[in-house]
Amino acid sequence: MSATASLTNTYAIDPSHSRLGFVVRHAMVTKVRGWFDEFSGSVTIDGDNPAASSVTVHCRSGQHQHR
């Protein structure tokens, strides 16, 4: 058993303790930062084969904020 095998599991992303954000360039001059208010997801860790680990996130496009 590898040292990371004990991490093998699927973990839910807790939206109350997480933030899903993004940054885009506008006119190659400034950056616009934004975030999604509502999202869900999970992280699946394969401790024996980390390359097989994955992240799944679901959010509704159009349901975002920016500044």
Could you write out the DSSP letters of every residue in 38-64?
SEEEEEEE-SS-GGG-EEEEEE-TT-E
Give domain status of residue 18, yes or no.
yes
Res 58: pLDDT: 94
Give domain status of residue 67, yes or no.
no
Q: Please write the tens of the pLDDT for every residue from 18-57.
A: 999 999 998 888 999 999 989 999 999 999 999 999 999 9
Give domain status of residue 51, yes or no.
yes
Of 12, 21, 16, whose CA–CA distance to 42 is shortest? 12
pLDDT grade for 65, boundaries at 50, 70 and 90: confident
Strand 30-36 relative to strand 64-66: parallel, antiparallel, unpaired? antiparallel
Indicate the number of domains in the chain: 1
**pTM for this predicted structure:** 0.71
Res 6: pLDDT: 87
